[in-house]
């Protein structure tokens, strides 16, 4: 019963932030931002956690783990020093960035820790969530390229979100995304398959 309650709370948190993010950008007429990876991921994570579906939860962790960890590290450095390292979080201190958007952006810090804890409670039953991750990654790449502008650079599909450039960028994007998915999935399976949990 206690596990069920905790998972429900985590699922509601994910859904609340995901829906709030989508509503926020919609009210600000920034409609294309609805398809940010993290916004979609939050909604799927919320539903997966409420349903105790470790397969779908893992598929989203595979996609979001590395990007959100990079963001979190960059954000901590930004708050501590006033300057970011990767340029991922500079927007956070912009004068025209609304308070509600800042509150929603804080989800970058807790999404992965909470999702890992939820997975810890659920127990992983399958090791092939990477397949869904690849399908979603590919679909969102093309949807983003078709329906958004290069100026917005949603999901970093037009150019690097880091403060450096890469040659043959679309290829580099897919290679980087694929590696992040495979590495994350490997780590998750290594520690959580068949109910195995990390040692204390």
In whole angstroms, what is the distance from residue 9 CA to residue 160 CA? 35
pTM for this prediction: 0.91
Backbone angles phi, psi at 124, to 5 degrees: -80, 135
Regions of the chain short of the pLDDT cut 70: 1, 194-200
Q: What is the pLDDT of residue 165?
A: 75
Domain boundaries, the chain: 2-192
Q: What is the pLDDT of residue 194?
A: 55
CA distances from 124 to 19, 76, 120, 173, 194 (A): 26, 31, 8, 28, 6
DSSP codes of every residue in the chain: -HHHHHHHHHHHHHHHHHHHHHHHHHHTT-GGGGG-HHHHHHHHHHHHHHTT-HHHHHHHHHHHHHHHHHHHHHHHHHHHHS--SSSSSGGGG-TTS-HHHHHHHTHHHHHHHHHHHHHHHH-B--S-HHHHHHHHHHHHHHHHHHHS-TTT-GGG-SS-SSSS--SSHHHHHHHHHHHHHHHHHHHHHHHHBTT-----
């Amino acid at each position: 019963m206690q596990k069920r309650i905790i998972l429900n709370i985590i699922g509601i948190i994910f859904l609340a932030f995901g829906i709030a993010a989508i509503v926020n950008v919609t009210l600000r007429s920034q409609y294309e931002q609805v398809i940010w990876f993290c916004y979609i991921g939050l909604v799927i994570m919320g539903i997966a956690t409420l349903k105790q579906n470790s397969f779908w939860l893992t598929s989203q962790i595979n996609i979001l783990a590395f990007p959100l960890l990079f963001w979190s590290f960059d954000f901590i450095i930004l708050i501590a020093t006033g300057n970011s390292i990767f340029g991922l979080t500079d927007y956070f201190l912009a004068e025209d960035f609304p308070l509600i958007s800042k509150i929603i952006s804080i989800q970058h810090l807790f999404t992965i820790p909470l999702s890992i804890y939820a997975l810890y409670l659920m127990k992983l039953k399958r090791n092939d969530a990477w397949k869904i991750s690849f399908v979603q990654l590919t679909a969102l790449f093309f949807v983003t390229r078709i329906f958004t502008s290069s100026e917005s650079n949603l999901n970093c599909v037009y150019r690097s979100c880091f403060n450096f450039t890469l040659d043959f960028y679309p290829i580099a994007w897919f290679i980087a995304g694929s590696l992040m998915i495979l590495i994350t999935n490997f780590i998750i399976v290594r520690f959580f398959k068949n109910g195995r949990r990390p040692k204390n």
